Amino acid sequence: MKRLLLLFLTVLLALTASAQKSKKFVHGTLIPPAVEPRIIAVETTSSSLILSVRENGSVFQLHFGTKVNETEFAAIPSYAGRYGNGAPAYPATGGRFLGEPALHLRYADGMHNTELHYIGHETTEAAGVKTTTVRLLDYVTKLRVDLVYEAYPEEDVILTHTRIYNAGDKPVTLLSYASGAMTFTSDRYLLTHVNGSWAQEMQVESELLTHHLKVLEDRRGVQNTQLGNPAFLLSLGTSELSETEGEVIAGALAWSGNWRLSFERDAENRLTVLGGISPFASEYPLKADASFRTPDMIWTYSDKGAGQASRNLHRWARRYGVYGGGEVNPILLNSWEGAYFTFTTETLLRMIDDAASMGLEMFVLDDGWFGNKYPRNSDNAALGDWQVNAAKLPEGIDHIAQYAHSKGLKFGIWIEPEMVNPKSELAEKHPEWVVQSPGREIYTERTQWVLDLSNPAVQDFVFGVFDSVMQLSPAIDYIKWDCNRPIESFGSPYLGAEQDRFYIEYVQGFYKVMERIRAKYPSVLVQCCSSGGGRVDYGSLKYFNEVWTSDDTDGFERVFMQYGTSLFYPACVMAAHVSTVPNHQSRNVTPLKFRFDVAAQGRLGLELQPRYLSSEELAYVNRCVASYKEFRDVVFNGDLYRLGTPYGNDFYGMMYVSEDKSRAVVYTYCLRFRQLACDGVPFRLQGLDPDRKYRVVEQNLGDADRPDGAPVTASCWWGNGRSWSGSFLASGAFNPILPSLYSSAVFVLEAE
Ligand code: DGJ
């Protein structure tokens, strides 16, 4: 009996203990310490971002937009409801947040909840850039997140990124990890973004956002901007994209791999924008004591329409975002469309002679110069074997480069170091360097495979390609870095079971290589090409001087692509070449003048066989090149004003104005011709000083191949050659006659 009683008591004790234990589990909430509510303001000259720290430690964004007085925002009450005023500054899955998260993790115990609490913030300043770091902590999981806001006052740009630090003692998995979040309040949101394909990059489309989630994403691994771009414009309270009016936010992600932009419009009509690395196949493991820095997301706000938003981005890019930004880069002749894979030393030397006689400043030898066991005579062999092809170029590269220098030209050369043809010595030697998935076909595209840049040995190889090509001649001034396919059926032999790291570490590997290149070759010019504009983003532009905007050099198509590019990227990066007709991509025929007038919007170049130009054409080219040299500093460093959109319009114009407003260059085009009785087309010029007088001089007159056969010898504007006030030119009185399809005119304006 005694024994039975003892057993009963023991069981009761055990049950009570377990009940107490589970009771402690249910009620063992860790209440984070209360904090003093406060406002944190991140400011530029004309915009403010207002964050509010609440008593419970949550950090909300109250405002991003026009410049405000932050003190008034302290009076805004925070309701006990799900959000109250504002929206979480960096919404994390967990707690009361049920929307699209900026941050989503899985912890070692399988839980998904993160609740971030304010633990401090600080602002530092260096070289005029103010950096505010808001420190957050999840008290339960010990996850720490720093929200970093870098304010560029003069350019009205704010950069955001986060540092996610696992201060717990178990690994965690990052499922979503945006670079920043911004929330807006309006009744209408017009989203403008770009889509595209090869030879059709940067096609602009706008749409009004409905409720729920809109996602723009790229999953190509590399060539991340061939089909779209991690950049957007958001117009508030309107259904139309205006160049000059209304509130517009621009955003761009500095990342050269998979990206994701999301726009979630909630039941209260708030819109939250997130920008960051795409989490596609990238559940990123973060060990205890490890941290992850997200890439920069670049934001700007304009209350003067899309034009000002683009100008803000451009100014920031020229000063901070582009390697060598704003420096005038040489006018070049590229060998690709003029020679493709078929050339000898003699062919190249004659092209150099012609380039020199046309007043160009650089010759670039494109694809086809390398490979011996497997010569590079087409795109089906030799990628990976970066030795000079002795049959084609027995005298070597130095001979050609020195010849270019002797003619007063710089010299550039093409490489595609991230890729390998199956038919190459490299693929034979290092099959394990190829991106692949065990047991599966390694698909070729353009008969090539991708090298696994997540592997440090491949990073060394890729750096070595650049480095060894630079050793071919001390006269190499420019490298064209190409990248001609996306990643498919991804897999890294190097990463083993940790394939979730692949997409991110490929890009980090690419940046590591570029860091090494820039440390060793700070002044070599490097173009970022990827089948044209397949890698146009602010991640790569930190290392590259310019981009190859598109393989499509048709002047007509380029008007649209360059318009799309100009929404987010400055003219100084936009390589634009005059090529032959019919155009090799579109088969379209446009006048030589039109092709020049379009290419002169960016870094001008030629990409054709000069031998096929007539003597009239050569003389005309000379004139266009000479005139471009006179105004190109305004192209590279001026502010862009788009005078409308080419979409749906017969005529399009745009202009650059020097920062001091003393000089400008204006471009006008006829894209569709519908009536013979063509009066002048009024363009309202922008950005000029209304009170100053500008002498207006038309450029590039005298094209020999206008569609109507008549050389353009007289200006198409009655006011040409005289001086007019900025206000007059802005009134619509500037009305050049563009009398046929593909007629165009370029004017230089000089203040008196
Ligand atoms: C694709 C580039 O976009 C072209 O300009 C040219 O360099 C070819 N590759 C060469 O293969």
What is the distance in A from the centroid of ligand 1 to the CA of 336?
A: 7
Report yes or no: 699 and 635 within 8 Å, Cβ to Cβ.
Answer: no
Pairing of strands 663-670, 574-579: unpaired
Domain that holds residue 239: 2-321
**Distance (Å, rounded) from C-alpha 388 to C-alpha 68?**
61
Long-range contacts of the stretch 503-507 (C-beta < 8 A, 24+): 503/221, 503/257, 503/258, 503/277, 503/278, 503/280, 503/281, 503/282, 504/257, 504/277, 504/282, 504/284, 505/453, 505/454, 506/221, 506/222, 506/257, 506/452, 506/453, 506/454, 507/255, 507/256, 507/257, 507/539
> Which residues of the chain, if any, have pLDDT below 50?
1, 11-25, 80-82
In a domain, 326, yes or no: no
User: Which residues, other chains included, contact 408 with Cβ-Cβ below 8 Å and sequence gap of 6+?
Assistant: 356, 361
Q: Judge if 405 and 283 occupy the same domain.
A: no
Q: Judge if 491 and 509 occupy the same domain.
A: yes
Q: Judge if 478 and 592 occupy the same domain.
A: yes
Q: Judge if 141 and 239 occupy the same domain.
A: yes
- Both structure tokens of 89: 């500054």
Mutational pocket test of ligand 1: of 365, 366, 370, the residue with most ligand atoms within 8 Å of the beta carbon? 366
Q: Which amino acid is at 589?
A: V
In a domain, 529, yes or no: yes
- Both structure tokens of 450: 């991708």
Specify whether 296 is catalytic. Answer: no
Q: Give the orientation angle of helix 615-637 with respect to helix 592-599, to 10 degrees.
A: 20
Q: Judge if 262 and 350 occupy the same domain.
A: no
The pLDDT, as a whole number, for residue 703 is 66
* Single residue among 600, 619, 640 that ends a domain in this structure: 640
Q: Judge if 631 and 652 occupy the same domain.
A: no
Cα 562 to Cα 204, 518, 716: the distances in Å are: 10, 28, 24
* Single residue among 321, 349, 367 that ends a domain in this structure: 321
Q: Judge if 620 and 683 occupy the same domain.
A: no
Residue for token pair 């020229």: 318
What is the distance in A from the centroid of ligand 1 to the CA of 367?
A: 7
**DSSP secondary structure of 690-719:** TTSEEEEEEES---TT-TTS----S-SSTT
In a domain, 291, yes or no: yes
In a domain, 505, yes or no: yes
In a domain, 200, yes or no: yes
User: Which residues, other chains included, contact 518 with Cβ-Cβ below 8 Å and sequence gap of 6+?
Assistant: 323, 543
- What is the CA angle 395-400-405, rounded to 5? 145
671-709 pLDDT, tens per residue? Answer: 999 876 577 999 999 999 999 999 999 999 976 555 555
Mutational pocket test of ligand 1: of 482, 546, 584, the residue with most ligand atoms within 8 Å of the beta carbon? 482
In a domain, 528, yes or no: yes
In a domain, 403, yes or no: yes
The pLDDT, as a whole number, for residue 16 is 41
SS3 category, 483: coil
- What is the CA angle 630-636-640, rounded to 5? 105
* Single residue among 609, 640, 671 that ends a domain in this structure: 640
- In the structure, which protein residues have their CB atom closer than 6 angstroms to any atom of ligand 1? 336, 366-367, 414, 482, 484, 529, 531-532, 548, 551
What is the distance in A from the centroid of ligand 1 to the CA of 350?
A: 21
Instruction: Residue 713: give its domain's CATH number.
Output: 2.60.40.1180
Specify whether 482 is catalytic. Answer: yes
Q: Judge if 571 and 670 occupy the same domain.
A: no
The pLDDT, as a whole number, for residue 15 is 41
Q: Which of 385, 477, 551, 554 is catalytic?
A: 551
Q: Which of 482, 537, 552, 554 is catalytic?
A: 482
Three-class secondary structure assignment of 319-386: HHHCCCCCCCCCCEEECHHHHCCCCCHHHHHHHHHHHHHCCCCEEEECCCCECCCCCCCCCCCCCCCC
Number of domains in the chain: 3
pTM for the model stands at 0.95
Residue for token pair 């209350």: 303
Q: Judge if 257 and 355 occupy the same domain.
A: no
Instruction: Residue 503: give its domain's CATH number.
Output: 3.20.20.70
In a domain, 547, yes or no: yes
Q: Judge if 679 and 743 occupy the same domain.
A: yes
189: β partners:
236
Q: Cα-flanking dihedrals φ and ψ of residue 500, to 5°? A: -65, -20
Q: Judge if 305 and 447 occupy the same domain.
A: no
Q: Is the peptide bond before 582 cis (omega within 30 degrees of 0)?
A: yes
**Distance (Å, rounded) from C-alpha 51 to C-alpha 89?**
7
- Residue 47: Cβ-neighbour burial (10 angstroms; 0-12, 13-18, 19+): buried
Number of residues that this document lists for the chain: 752
Instruction: Residue 156: give its domain's CATH number.
Output: 2.70.98.60
**DSSP secondary structure of 239-287:** SS--SSSB-EEEEEE--SS-EEEEEEE-TT-EEEEEEEE--TT--EEE-
What is the distance in A from the centroid of ligand 1 to the CA of 636?
A: 24
Q: Give the orientation angle of helix 592-599 with respect to helix 555-566, to 10 degrees.
A: 10
CA atoms within 13 A on the CB side of 72: 5
Q: Judge if 627 and 652 occupy the same domain.
A: no
The pLDDT, as a whole number, for residue 79 is 58
